[in-house]
Structure 1
Amino acid sequence: MQEKTMVNDILSAEKSDLTFYANMISECQNQQLRSAVQQIRNNCENSQYELFKIAQSKGYYKPAEQADNQQIQQVKSQLQG
């Protein structure tokens, strides 16, 4: 398996994990458990970001182009509704 494939697979898995943690946090009643999961999520976010920077520097991952002001305003108005 090539390095690029492995990096992209791990990035994808970490994104999935972050979604899982967000759902768990939003539904958790126990404050101690909620705090523990938040810490795990924070660590996962940091790990994902570090891997993203590596992938981007090697040309493995290319984020979408930056939105212009008109596109930003359009999304804001849609969300505010």
Structure 2
Amino acid sequence: MDEKTMVTDTLVGINGELKMFAEYITQTENKELKQCLKQMRNQSEMSQEKLYQVAREKSYYVPAAKATQEEVEHVKSILTRPQMK
């Protein structure tokens, strides 16, 4: 397995962990467990950011082009519309 594949696979795994932590944090009522999960999530986010930087530096990951201001405003307008019942 080459380095690019390992970095990509690890990023995918960390992103999955982050989704899992978000779900668990919102579902637990135990304050101590919630705090522990938040700390674990924060550590995963830091690892993800470091690995993301490595992937960018080595051109293993090329992000999508930046959204135009018009695209940003369009998405904002969709997300801030009143919900119909």
User: Normalised by the size of structure 1, how large is the TM-score?
Assistant: 0.98
Unaligned runs of 5+ in 1: none
Instruction: Name the CA distance, whole Å, in 2 between partners of 1:26 and 1:64.
Output: 30
Unaligned runs of 5+ in 2: none
Counting matched residue pairs gives 81
Identity across aligned pairs (percent)? 38
AA aligned opposite 2:63:
P
Instruction: Name the CA distance, whole Å, in 2 between partners of 1:18 and 1:63.
Output: 19
CA RMSD of aligned residues (A): 0.5
Which residue in 1 is equivalent to 2:57?
57
Instruction: Name the CA distance, whole Å, in 1 between partners of 2:10 and 2:43.
Output: 15
Displaced runs of 4+ in structure 1, greater than 2 A?
A: none
Give the structure with the higher percent helix.
Answer: 1
* Structure 1 residue 21 displacement after superposition: 0.2
Which residue in 2 is equivalent to 1:67?
67
Q: Which has more radius of gyration?
A: 2
